[in-house]
């Protein structure tokens, strides 16, 4: 295992912590992957920016200031009023999102999430909620904090590719487009010596893949459409 792989393992083992991601970003920058490193940092910063609480009156004042700013009219950006603080917050978000989009359209960015022995997990032409293909499987990725954080796929595709995905990205959420196969459910029943009804499928999935925090299940599974791990 080389240094980059060791740092990635730390990211995978600590999916809720941005510190290992930023350490890996520093390593990547030092080894000629400046754009990949910047993408990680930009997305981590976006994830940490809190929503700005403001009254309707303050938002209206900020809207007026933003309009003046877009028309290149001078505005008091150094002032410490709530409206100006909101304007600075919006401008920072705009700049981060703009850079995020620029980095995500780079031709080589789809290689940032390549699974072992497979094609790229993310198709950059599809955007941050786009569909990619892994050995013929159609998988939709949501990219956050520098890596795919949530995916959408069929249960059969998940069953086929989960090991490679979990070995490459710090995945936290899975949305299944169809229900688990009856053969898989029967296997879980044999393991646990207990019946599994529709409402119990989420618990069975969580028991089988405990690193996944949230499972979103098809609507036909009664009221068990979302199952989140209890911290």
Rounded CA-CA distance 40/28 in Å is 10
| Structural domain boundaries enclosing 136 | 110-228
| Residues 72 and 131 placed together within one structural domain of the fold | no
The percent of residues above 90 in pLDDT, for the chain, comes to 34
**3-state DSSP assignment of residue 19:** helix
* Domain end position, chosen among 102, 119, 137: 102
* Residues 74 and 116 both lie in one domain: no
pLDDT at 203: 85
Higher per-residue confidence, 223 vs 150: 150
Evaluate whether 182 touches 189 at the Cβ level (below 8 Å): no
- Between CA 170 and CA 192 the distance in angstroms is 28
**Same-domain check for residues 94 and 119:** no
The whole-number pLDDT of residue 120 equals: 55
Q: Is 194 exposed, middle or buried (0-12, 13-18, 19+ CB in 10 A)?
A: exposed
Mean pLDDT over 45-49 rounds to: 89
Q: Are residues 70 and 166 located together in one domain of the fold?
A: no
Whether 145 has a pLDDT exceeding 50, the answer reads: yes
Same domain for 224 and 137, yes or no, is: yes
In the predicted model, is pLDDT for residue 29 greater than 90?
yes
Distance CA 209, CA 32 (A): 35
Pairing outcome for strands 137-144 and 131-134: antiparallel
Residues 144 and 203 in one domain: yes
pTM: 0.80
Which residue would you say has higher pLDDT here, 145 or 113? 145
The Cβ of residue 126 has, within 10 Å, a number of other Cβ atoms equal to 14
Give yes or no for residue 224 having a pLDDT over 50.
no
Confidence tier at 223 by pLDDT (50, 70, 90): very low
Distance from C-alpha of 6 to C-alpha of 157, rounded to nearest angstrom: 28
Q: With the CA atoms of 64, 65, 70 and 73 taken in that order, what torsion angle do they form, in degrees rounded to the nearest 10?
A: 110
**162 and 75 within one domain:** no
6-20, 135-149, 161-175, 217-231: range with lowest mean pLDDT: 217-231
Give the residue from 87, 123, 77, 84 showing the smallest Cα distance to 104.
Answer: 123
Structure tokens at 113: 């999430």
Number of domains in the chain: 2
């Amino acid at each position: 295992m080389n240094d980059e792989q060791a740092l990635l393992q730390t990211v995978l083992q600590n999916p809720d912590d941005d510190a290992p991601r930023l350490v890996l970003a520093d390593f990547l920058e030092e080894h000629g992957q400046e754009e990949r490193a910047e993408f990680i940092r930009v997305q981590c910063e976006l994830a940490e920016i809190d929503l700005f609480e403001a009254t309707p009156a303050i938002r209206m004042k900020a809207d007026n200031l933003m309009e003046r700013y877009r028309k290149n009219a001078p505005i008091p950006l150094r002032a410490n009023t709530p409206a100006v603080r909101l304007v600075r917050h919006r401008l920072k978000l705009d700049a981060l999102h703009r850079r995020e989009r620029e980095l995500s359209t780079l031709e080589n960015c789809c290689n940032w999430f390549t699974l072992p022995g497979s094609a790229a997990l993310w198709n950059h032409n599809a955007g941050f909620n786009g569909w990619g293909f892994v050995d013929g499987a159609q998988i939709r990725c949501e990219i956050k904090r520098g890596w795919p954080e949530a995916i959408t796929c069929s249960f059969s595709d998940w069953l086929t590719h989960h090991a490679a995905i979990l070995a490459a990205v710090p995945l936290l959420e899975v949305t299944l487009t169809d229900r688990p196969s009856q053969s898989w459910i029967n296997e879980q029943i044999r393991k646990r010596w207990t019946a599994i009804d529709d409402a119990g499928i989420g618990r069975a999935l969580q028991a089988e893949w405990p690193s996944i925090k949230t499972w979103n299940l098809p609507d036909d599974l009664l009221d068990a459409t979302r199952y989140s791990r209890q911290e």
